[in-house]
Amino acid sequence: MAQQDPEELLEMSTETRELLEENNLRPLWEVEDDFGNTFGDMEPDIWKWEDIQASIDGIESDVPIADLPPGFQRRVAVPINTALGNAISNTIYVGVQTVSPGETAPSHRHGANALRYTINGNEDMKTVVAGEEFPMEDNDLVTTPQWEWHDHVNDSDETAAWLDVLDLPLVLDSLNRKNVFENHELERQPVTKTQGYWDSQYGRGRPADEKSDGSIPGPFEGNREPTPPYRFGWDEMEESLRQRAENDDPDPHDGYSLAYVNPATGQEPLFPTMSFRAQLLNEGPTDPHFHNAVEVYFVIEGEGATHVGDEALEWSQWDIFVVPPDEIHHHEPDGEAILLGMTDRPVFEAFNFYAEAEPSS
């Protein structure tokens, strides 16, 4: 909701207002549109890659990671939804992070779930998660599940850049878990696993002697199967997409759409809070629909437009855009395009709140 016009505020006596204020209270009718740390109506919006690129180049040359103040200590340009002032949505956060040749983003862990989607990568750019080095090659998607140690080490001679996606606004803001954060005593965590370890444990063969007991890393409890540290290589993902496009019918709203599944269950969502899909669009415009979950998109390749309400968000490779809840939208690729679709739908589904519909014509 837009900021309330003071004239629209219900009259209250000065005395009552002060009483509420003194006790850190506000009347429900003045705050009910602001739950989830939202301070305004989310707008459909797009961040063009060339603008992001200029910004990350700027901060990269001005700010060595080693000079960053205590905190996350990551060099990231963060798309801000003007209505919210702090992130692209009130559940999902995205940012674009860079690490220069020779730099390390130091090891830490937190309650929020994270993933990297590599934009400019190579085999000597590694994100180290839970003891294993994962090379970050172009279009790879690597999970950093909640409470796993992670640091990013650039042993190559090129600047690396990637998309960070975290449930920060939900976990750190709305659920008030700001304190669930820890720095490692070392800048780089010890590498304790051989490369390929995590992947090897979630294939067709699984450890016979132990079943996952569903225990969740860190100080948390819950009933969702934890997501392991995992790298989804792009070659395999693209092959699955193309096979589907050759053999099956597209979804009317999402095109040929493949979920990144939790390797422990073989099912969506990848994280309890966020779901991810690679979507191949090559059959003209999709059908309009709307839903109460938010969608954030990253353009893997191609060009086109996504129509949201009256607006056309015109995108090309590596742009980031957001489709706010309840807005009627459809995609119109210019030929063939592949999008990374990200949504907080699992949060809605967990509480039986998810709803979607097509507009009545």
Residues that bind ligand GTQ (CB under 6 A): 72, 74, 76, 95, 97, 105, 110, 114, 150, 164, 166
Rounded least distance, CB 21 to ligand GTQ, Å: 33
Residue among 160 and 216 whose Cβ is closer to ligand GTQ: 160
Residue among 150 and 345 whose Cβ is closer to ligand GTQ: 150
Give bridge partners of residue 232 from the DSSP assignment: 141
Helix (H) or strand (E) holding 14: helix 14-22
Helix (H) or strand (E) holding 246: helix 234-247
Residue among 95 and 325 whose Cβ is closer to ligand GTQ: 95
Helices assigned H by DSSP within 108-222: 168, 197-200
Q: Which of 50, 71, 135, 105 is nearest to 320 (CA)?
A: 50
Residue among 169 and 228 whose Cβ is closer to ligand GTQ: 169
Closest residue to ligand GTQ in the complex (CB): 164
Q: How many CB atoms lie within 10 A of CB 80?
A: 13
Residue among 103 and 327 whose Cβ is closer to ligand GTQ: 103
- What is the 8-class DSSP label of residue 9? S
Q: 263 preceded by cis ω (within 30°)? A: no
Residue among 78 and 261 whose Cβ is closer to ligand GTQ: 78
Contacting residues for 172 by C-beta, under 8 A, at least 6 apart: 110, 111, 112, 178, 180
Residue among 76 and 350 whose Cβ is closer to ligand GTQ: 76
Alpha carbon 244 to chain centroid distance?
Answer: 25
Rounded least distance, CB 331 to ligand GTQ, Å: 26
Rounded least distance, CB 117 to ligand GTQ, Å: 12
Rg (CA), the chain: 21
Q: Tell me the C-alpha distance between 64 and 61, whole Å.
A: 7
Residue among 76 and 175 whose Cβ is closer to ligand GTQ: 76
Question: What φ, ψ does residue 236 adopt, rounded to 5°?
Answer: -70, -40
Rounded least distance, CB 245 to ligand GTQ, Å: 32
Rounded least distance, CB 221 to ligand GTQ, Å: 22
Residues 293, 325 contacting (CB under 8 angstroms): yes
Rounded least distance, CB 115 to ligand GTQ, Å: 10
Q: Which of 301, 302, 296 is nearest to 320 (CA)?
A: 296
Rounded least distance, CB 31 to ligand GTQ, Å: 28
SS3 291: strand
Rounded least distance, CB 131 to ligand GTQ, Å: 16
Q: Which of 219, 241, 217, 240 is nearest to 227 (CA)?
A: 217
